Amino acid sequence: MAFSADELRVLRRALAIALNPTPVAEEDVQDCLRLAESVDEAIAEAGRLRAFLLADLARYRDALPGTAGSYTELLQDALAAGYDPRPEDLAALRTLRGAPSGDALLRRCRALAEQSVRARLAGRAVTPGPRTRLLALPGGRAANDPDQPKRPERPAPVKEPVKPRPAPKPSEVFPPRRKPAAPPAQHSMTG
């Protein structure tokens, strides 16, 4: 994500306000709200693009082996963008073992899948939660609106002890290998 010079100026002011909460001018509040809306819109657009690319990847994977070149190219782009290969990707790449790019991509995907599983087992996998909306800044719209009801303070949540998750079985992490489909019978023409 790239910011324009104006957006960086607003971001710098918002950070200064966050570090030194003082009454804020209405113009600064409006600039911060516009920037927050722009960031939310960019995040939503990135989510839509990711969903489209993953659906495209699934379509190419389902049409293998005829789409091998396009599938491997899309998969490489997805991996570069942080995609964790799924079991169906590994199975699809096993069918493309004969191609040099298929072998190399299969090794890369296996390594990434193994890293991902190890990270999840170690509890290091962080899934990004939904971004919260910017509701008000100190001295902003909510502070100047007498009709705005004040929110009651929530009590602190009670933390329950965390139970350790059991380690998954290898069969849950890596599906069993499937036998490759027999090649279609070729018909010879006799004349």
82-114 pLDDT tens trace? 888 888 888 888 888 777 677 888 888 889 888
pLDDT of residue 182 exceeding 70, the answer is yes
Q: Which of 148, 131, 130 lies closest to 140 in space, CA to CA? A: 148
Overall pTM surpassing 0.75 (yes/no): no
Lowest-confidence pick of 16-30, 58-72, 139-153: 139-153
Average pLDDT taken over every residue of the chain: 76
Long-range contacts of 87-95 (CB under 8 A, 24+ apart): 87/113, 87/174, 87/175, 88/61, 89/61, 91/175, 91/178, 92/61, 92/64, 94/177, 94/180, 95/64, 95/65, 95/180
User: Residue 35 is inside which H or E element, if any?
Assistant: helix 26-62
Above 70 in pLDDT, residue 140? no
Poorest-confidence range of 124-128, 157-161, 163-167? 124-128
